[in-house]
Structure 1
């Protein structure tokens, strides 16, 4: 169709970066929600770009972390943003059919100006919050749970919860390589160079460069990017942020990677171990806590320059390592990654150097001191990961481990053990409540039951087809 009569918003990447960084600063400064809402509604109705905005993409995540997207006509949304309803029973893991009505509230602080060549011309994006029929945050929306917990910690203790995630993925030949895996039985690399190695013009480098440009435009504040250890593997790092913004950026990171890869005729995969025999993909989760600008994880005189609060945080994470493993490693495929032959972080211990440890203490100073939880898979629900890490680290049980540096326990090597540990864990009930805990466990059980019980040495079609990230609703319905 001809586009000569259209006049939809298409801003340069430099303009987008400026707008998104300004919004990010408002969020970091905790500008009152009503002020940010008024500013964003002004952008949509009277701002300099208002006439060129045609639609608002609202995104939210389900219990397993799948990102759902729906576009609202801008004029409709401006009039109806306080009553955006949807059928929760159609979202796997959300409400039953008899109580299906849910609403989307808009978190105007999580508003993004988007590149037209990736998201479509004339569109902006905002994160939604799932509201139940009583007007309360829906318990199955872990973004809302995380946001409430972060707010409680700030108001009660003055804590700002910070996170930075190192998200690895693979780039494979062909569009929808995961969904066609049952036909091909293999993933084809686009690059075999390995760690830090790619030519300037090869497909992996072009993919990384393009994703990095989009991230910068959306205010990510990039740090470094490079090919990873395994063939066709990548990692694109960006700066830390407050915990909810950090989780939002994980969802955007994966969305951007998938969209850019598709536009290039390839697939960006966040399966933890899509190819056996090479390193899998992780989502190393770096966390810290600040109060009035001071990093509470740092102590110049402390062991590894980590404070007493920091070591107590580590103790609690390790104490509950098996209780929360299913939240950090959420798929059948994730347990292929917990293989000690490939730097697998499956030892329930802490170390400054041993990358087989569940928790690592990176070298740091007063600004950068942090705790790194290495056992997280890139397919886990980021809101659930960050909520469980922070709440466990701050509120969990302590003093259950004599030596934090000695591996006397290991994480499960299969999802069935992880499900069993999770179901019987009192701490998991305290984290999520009985209802959400049971629903999540049932979802993981359903995925596992569709796959071979033993992992074996090759990736099976079913563990890809019934993976929650790959998710094919038609397959689930006809299984």
Structure 2
């Protein structure tokens, strides 16, 4: 169909980056929500080239959902949006299906037309229960409220940066077709840092990085990873909610770019046995009045006593929250010590097999890195559970937890048992959400072989929460 008579907004990547960085600065400065709302509504009203707004939210497992609202309708009805929560896995039951969708105007993104469609903007939504409160199953809302409370009561700003690895495979829908093909096909076998200019992997990385920059990610570096066809595209740290949103956008961008190239971007933690898996190393720090509370030039590894207590509480609850950081059957293949697996419940400045690493840092960059996180985990749940465990968790009654010979589970059934049996996970999520999450993970596990074995089984992929659709699941 001809588009000659259409006049929808298409901004250059340079213009987009400028607009999105300005929006990001408003979040950093904590500009009041009503001020930002008024500004965004005025933009949408005045900008005739915008036709629709894509509202994004995530379910309990972290699967991203999108709804497109006509711009004129949204401007008039943004405070009265409803949707059927019973259609979202892990949300309400059919008998209590109605939920509201609020708009978090501070998380507004000006979108590249070639990736998201012309005349569109993006904004993250907030799921609201029938009583007007944040919905307990919407972990984005839980994380946002948790971070805001810490800032209001203690002046803490929670910061995070995530290093998200993935694979680029030949063909579209490679994961959905895995039960038919039984294999993933590499597009590059160069390995760590090695990809020739113009080859498929390098083109994919370059294109994805350009889109990220346009969305205000503030990129730092990108490169092929150790395994064949594996990639990592790094960007700057941000406040905890922005960091979690950017993880969802990162994966969405990667998948969209790959699809446009006739390929598949996969965030399965271990799609191919025999090569390194993909992780989502999660770097964390806490600041107050602009001061990094993890920094102490005289501390052990230059980490403050506040920082070490944060680390020790995470280690104490390592087995309790393992299912939240490694939520799929496939993710336990990655916790394999033969491939630099971060499966040891200890902290180290040098040992990459440790669950927590203390990177070299300075007053600005001092942080702790939780290495055991899988890229298919719900980012809101990950950051919430790690920060809350580090700040409010208990200390293990072990003489030196950093040297204890303990390991994370090597299978999802053990992780499920630890999760269900831990009182801490009830404190984190509440009994209702905890039970829903465990039931979802149990259902996936029970559709897969109990023993992982030496090759990836079709059911691991077919019933993976990020690959899920009704067509595939109905083949069980």
* TM-score, normalization by structure 1: 0.99
Q: CA contact under 8 A between 1:272 and 1:378: conserved in structure 2? A: yes
Q: Which residue of 2 aligns with 1:224?
A: 221
Partner of 2:413: 416
> Residues 55-204 of structure 1 correspond to what in structure 2 (within 5 A)?
55-204=52-201
User: Equivalent residue for 1:9?
Assistant: 9
- 1:151-300 matches, cutoff 5 A: 151-300=148-297
Q: Counterparts of 2:311 and 2:40 in 1: how far apart (Å)?
A: 40
Q: Does 1:34 align with 2:34?
A: yes
Query: In 2, Cα distance between the equivalents of 1:418 and 1:234?
Result: 28
The list of structure 1 runs, each at least 4 consecutive aligned residues, that deviate by more than 4 angstroms after superposition, is: none
Supply the RMSD in Å over aligned alpha carbons. Answer: 0.7
In 2, distance between residues paired with 1:453 and 1:302?
A: 45
1:205 offset after TM fit, Å?
0.2
1:339-350 equivalence runs, <5 A: 339-350=336-347
Contact in 1 for aligned 2:312/2:402 (Cα 8 Å): no
Whether contact under 8 Å (2:9, 2:49) holds in the other structure is yes
Q: Following superposition of structure 1 onto structure 2, how do residues 362-441 of structure 1 map, counting pairs within 5 Å?
A: 362-441=359-438
For 2:473 and 2:262, how far apart are their aligned partners in 1?
A: 26
3-state DSSP of counterpart to 2:48: helix
How big is the shift at 1:399?
4.4
The Cα shift of 1:406 comes to 1.8
- The SS at the match of 2:402 is coil
Among candidates 461, 469, 473, match of residue 472 of structure 1: 469
Q: How far did residue 400 of structure 1 move? A: 2.8
The structure-2 alpha-carbon separation of the partners of 1:478 and 1:229, relative to structure 1 and needing over 3 Å to count, comes to: closer
| C-alpha distance in structure 1 between counterparts of 2:398 and 2:149, whole Å | 28
Contact 1:315 1:401 in 2 (8 A): no
**Structure 1 residues 289-323: Cα deviation after superposition (integer angstroms, max 9, x where no partner):** 00000000000110000001100000000000000
Q: 1-side partners of 2:215 and 2:415: how far apart?
A: 36
Give the Cα–Cα distance (whole angstroms) in 1 for the partners of residues 107 and 197 of structure 2.
Answer: 34
Report the 3-state secondary structure (helix = DSSP H, G, I; strand = E; otherwise coil) of the residue aligned with 1:363: coil
Q: Distance in 1 between matches of 2:363 and 2:397?
A: 29
SS at match of 2:103: strand
Aligned to 1:454: 451
The equivalences for 1:294-313 within 5 A come to 294-313=291-310
1: CA distance between counterparts of 2:474 and 2:145? 35
Unaligned runs of 5+ in 2: none
Deviation at 1:428, TM superposition (A): 0.2
CA–CA distance in structure 1, aligned partners of residues 398 and 163 of structure 2: 28
Output the CA distance in 2 between the equivalents of 1:128 and 1:472: 22
Q: Give the structure-2-normalised TM-score.
A: 0.99
Q: Secondary structure at the match of 2:406?
A: coil
> Residues 465 and 472 of structure 1 are in contact (CA less than 8 Å); yes or no, is this contact kept in structure 2?
no
Distance 1:249 1:418 in 2: 27
Gaps of 5+ in 1: none
Cα distance, 1:402 vs structure 2 = 2.1
Deviates more, 1:305-314 or 1:398-407: 398-407
CA distance in 1: counterparts of 2:139 and 2:148, whole angstroms: 14
